Amino acid sequence: MRKLRYHLIDVFTHQPFGGNQLAVFTNGRGLPPHLMQQIAKELNFSETTFVLPPQEASNDFWVRIFTPAVEMPMAGHPTVGTAFVLALEQLIDSSNPETMVRFEEGVGVIPVRVHWANGRPALIKMSQPLPKFGPEFSDQAVMAGMLSIDPTVIDPNYPLQVVSCGLPFLYVPLKILATIRQIKLRYDLWEQHLKDFASPHLFVFTLETELENSTVHCRMFAPALGIAEDPATGAASGPLGCYLVKYGLVKQTRQVALVSEQGFEIGRPSLIHIEVEQENERITAVMVGGQCVYMGEGFLQLSETLV
């Protein structure tokens, strides 16, 4: 039998039982992809990661990311959380106040910065690819029906648009916080109208927030990934920041710093830090980061015939 050790952490939170759960297997050597997928389905977190030696010597780690249903080309909370675990395991240098490591992921190399305090990882930020603005979803009435809300609360001044910083999401702006709390996704309408759209992943937001220091309040629904609702979506937070900057929903400065709150409706409050840099009205850099809480560890015991 082979014991596969994993770490359990909560990502994008400073307190236990908040943020987004993640399981990290720091030694994924010898595991075939189909077994990684089965393990992710067994654990049933939003994502599970497996760390492997890099394919290129200039990089530090190869990180493979799985939802219960599919392998992801990149993702935010798995990237941040995996760096946190590797730092705790002393597999990342802590001799300087900030350490930069390079993760190989499906979209390419993702630079990750680990900020240290008292010898522990305090804040972790990942760089994301520059945004690509995609097609718009034109039927607000259909979208309102899909979300089980009144069509008048969808803000008509801004588009329902797909944006990607490595993984595409469809952004839906709402006017008020009370409505976003009431959303109930109708899977029949989602399957009919959005399943085969440019992005089937729905990211709904409003500028009314629960917390005074937050910029935006969000919810994310991804049935295509096997995720009914995600408590903290780092891969969607970079594009969200780019959407807010592009359409003037936040103050325009060279470096825009935002805080996104998510997961409140499902009892896992999360805070995600977003930084968007721009020059001459062109976005030049996107970073997403946050804190993590270590929750524990365990192991899976598998027959060698499976491995």
The burial of 123, by beta-carbon neighbours within 10 Å (0-12 exposed, 13-18 middle, 19 or more buried), is given as middle
Average pLDDT, stretch 35-48?
Answer: 96
CB 288 within 8 A of CB 126: yes
Predicted confidence band of residue 2 (pLDDT cuts 50, 70, 90): confident
121-138, pLDDT tens digit by residue?
Answer: 999 999 999 999 999 999
Q: Please name each of the domains of the chain with its CATH number.
A: 2-128+291-302 (3.10.310.10), 132-288 (3.10.310.10)
Predicted confidence (pLDDT) at residue 307 exceeds the cutoff of 70:
no
User: Annotated catalytic, 47?
Assistant: yes
What's the number of CA atoms in the CB half-sphere (13 Å) around residue 76? 35
Mean predicted confidence (pLDDT) in 266-284? 96
Q: What is the pLDDT of residue 214?
A: 98
Q: How far apart are CA 63 and CA 201, in angstroms?
A: 22
Q: How far apart are CA 174 and CA 180, in angstroms?
A: 7
232 with 268: CB under 8 angstroms? yes
pTM of this structure:
0.93
pLDDT at 167: 95
Q: Choose the catalytic residue: 42, 47, 56, 229.
A: 47
Helices (H), 89-176: 140-147
- pLDDT value of position 97: 94
pLDDT in tens, 75-111: 999 999 999 999 999 999 999 999 999 999 999 999 9
